[in-house]
Amino acid sequence: MSIPPAPSANILWFLPTHGDGRYLGTSTGGRQTDFAYLRQIAQAADALGYYGVLLPTGKSCEDSWVVASAVAPLTQNLRYLVAVRPGLQSPTVAARMTATLDRVSNGRLLVNVVTGGDPVENAGDGIFLGHDERYEVTREFLTVYSALLRGETVTYQGKHLRVDGGQLLYPPAQENGPPLYFGGSSPAGIAVAAETVDKYLTWGEPPAAVAEKIATADKAAKAAGRKLSFGIRLHVIVRETEEEAWSAANSLISHLDEATIARSQAIFARMDSEGQRRMSALHGGSRDKLEISPNLWAGVGLVRGGAGTALVGSAEQVAARIKEYQALGIDSFILSGYPHLEEAYRFAELVFPLLSLNHGKPAFSGVVNNGPFGETIANDEKPAQKRAASS
């Protein structure tokens, strides 16, 4: 049986704890991403009705657990997708951190399981395992971690991990713990996803490639007697017209020179991540053909690791592309745009009204301020009244 379409969606935004700005690959237009700025983005996403925010992980980022713990009390409904790192944390310590943050946030924690694909960064963190061995550790880690969050006392002996009498004294707010999100494009990654997690994530590839990938994961999960749901990670560049959107996309990479692109691609090439290999293959390090599918642009991946594609177009075009992914069975969209504060507003205001969402706020009523400095059209005539009179 094929994966059923997703009739509605969850839209998450992104907290850029590794930096933000108006252009890629340059300090020009860079923005200080201190706590005050991250708080602004989180509170904006909360007020706009986003389902949650993803916090990235790695040596180039502020610690996602500390940032989420600091920001969560300042928001009301926003969920926080925070990474656990098998091999960097013991499963029992990670389970305690998870249960604590889930309680502190009143059940608003989501967990992103990150195995890690950069051997150089892994070595700096004390991890010297090969690709498939890291997924072995991930499977063992999640076996212990999930059992602890279910309230079990765990004694476990695996190839890589051993726990004797592990236990959580304080349970998470969400029954059995927060949902587990996970992305892995290799056979080893898909096997782990099929056996252990709730939501399988892919980066933004053309719809046919996404359909093939999630069908493989779905088949593996069913063989294991389980069911997965599916999400996708994308950037977005949406404007009121298609021309404006493509102009903004070109502006985003307008400061990139070939040397910067080459240095970035060399770093990506050293990684043993199948997902990164697939991202890099979409553009081959060249600007020649960056629109790889209708309204799907690979320009971000010229210098950004991980998610390297963006939906580019008018609100109607971007909404249509999202609905194409929904038709494949994708129900969660983790989005971002540069700069992240302004683009959070732009996407919510332009695209949210065109989608069926599982979250959000009532539609804006159109009532405006009646102040004397430009809010009205003429004297005391409101814009809403003007539209009604001219229709």
With contact defined as beta carbons under 8 Å apart, do 233 and 183 qualify? yes
Q: What are the tens digits of pLDDT across the range 314-364?
A: 999 999 999 999 999 999 999 999 999 999 999 999 999 999 999 987 665
> Could you give phi then psi for residue 265, rounded to 5 degrees?
-65, -35
Q: Does the bond joining 339 to the residue before it have cis omega, within 30 degrees of 0? A: yes
First to last CA, the chain: 49
Q: For residue 57, give the nearest of 25, 82, 36, 27 by alpha carbon.
A: 82
Q: Which pLDDT score, from 0 to 100, does residue 366 have?
A: 58
Per-residue confidence band for 386, with pLDDT thresholds at 50, 70 and 90: very low
Q: Does the 10-360 domain belong in CATH 3.20.20.30?
A: yes
With contact defined as beta carbons under 8 Å apart, do 248 and 337 qualify? no
Q: What are the tens digits of pLDDT across the range 146-155?
A: 999 999 999 9
Residue 143 has pLDDT above 60, yes or no: yes
Per-residue confidence band for 381, with pLDDT thresholds at 50, 70 and 90: low
Per-residue confidence band for 145, with pLDDT thresholds at 50, 70 and 90: very high
Kindly calculate the radius of gyration of the chain based on its CA atoms and give it in whole angstroms. Answer: 22
Alpha carbons 193 and 330: distance in angstroms, whole number? 16
Residue 223: count of CB within 10 angstroms of its CB: 11
- What is the crossing angle of helices 207-223 and 315-328, to 10°? 30
Coil/strand/helix, residue 257: coil
Alpha carbons 236 and 297: distance in angstroms, whole number? 9
Alpha carbons 86 and 130: distance in angstroms, whole number? 13
Helix H, strand E, coil C: the string for 243-263 is HHHHHHHHHHCCCCCHHHHHH
287/236: higher pLDDT: 236
Per-residue confidence band for 370, with pLDDT thresholds at 50, 70 and 90: low
Residue 372: count of CB within 10 angstroms of its CB: 9
User: What single-letter amino acid sits at 317?
Assistant: Q
Q: What are the tens digits of pLDDT across the range 187-196?
A: 999 999 999 9
**For residue 81, what is the enclosing H or E element?**
strand 79-84
